[in-house]
Structure 1
């Protein structure tokens, strides 16, 4: 099972030179998608306990349009291993608002983490 969220990255989300967005932006969105996945699979938001890996592969910029995917990788009695991926699907071209839809998405961030469904949930 998987869920996909899409959103526009506002220029106000950029914090660094070159209109770059910080890595924590990706992790926050992974949390939202992971919660959505947990509700869809278990009927509960679950509790996220941590990441076993995180890779920042390409920059995310203000003006981009991104999609975040959370995919259930494995299921224990109460634990759920989730693979996350953030892809840029539209790239900002300049500061005038020009942008283009990408023929192939750019994978910007990948991660794997674990959520736990509380006992009795």
Structure 2
């Protein structure tokens, strides 16, 4: 396995109503960060054959709300390859959103998706053997 900048991994997940913590069915911003941890893990496995460890974020932007009933997509892209560290760019987008005004199970596909969170961070993997 060779870690190469540009490698991208994407996960999608339905956001259950149990995760709404605030009025208007809003979900806390940490939910996106949890998704980023999951997608970074797969990125490390694909790039280095190891789950790696998340070292930290250098930048996080919360751009729009995440709501219960959304389908959210989280993407991690490898941007930098060091000896043991890897730079990663993250983006979370809402690709489907509930439309309760039309009915209890109504929803819409969003085209274009709504970018809700962007971040950059660093993961660390074991030294190559």
TM-score per shorter chain, which class? Answer: over 0.9
2:109 to 101, 106, 119: 101
Asked if the contact 1:47–1:118 (Cα under 8 Å) also holds between the matched residues in 2, the reply is no
The aligned residue for residue 45 of structure 2 is 39
The aligned residue for residue 15 of structure 1 is 21
The aligned residue for residue 68 of structure 1 is 74
Q: Which runs of 4+ in 1 moved over 3 A?
A: none
Deviation at 1:120, TM superposition (A): 5.1
State TM-score, norm by structure 1: 0.96
**Ranges in structure 2 where 5+ consecutive residues have no aligned partner:** 1-6
Deviation at 1:67, TM superposition (A): 0.5
2:119 to 104, 111, 114: 111
Give the root-mean-square deviation of aligned CA atoms: 1.2
> Paired residues, what number?
121
Deviation at 1:105, TM superposition (A): 0.5
Deviation at 1:97, TM superposition (A): 2.0
Task: Give the number of the structure whose alpha-carbon radius of gyration is greater.
Answer: 2
Moved more, 88-97 or 99-108: 88-97
State TM-score, norm by structure 2: 0.90
1:25 to 13, 20, 31: 31
Deviation at 1:118, TM superposition (A): 2.2
Question: 1-side partners of 2:98 and 2:106: how far apart?
Answer: 6
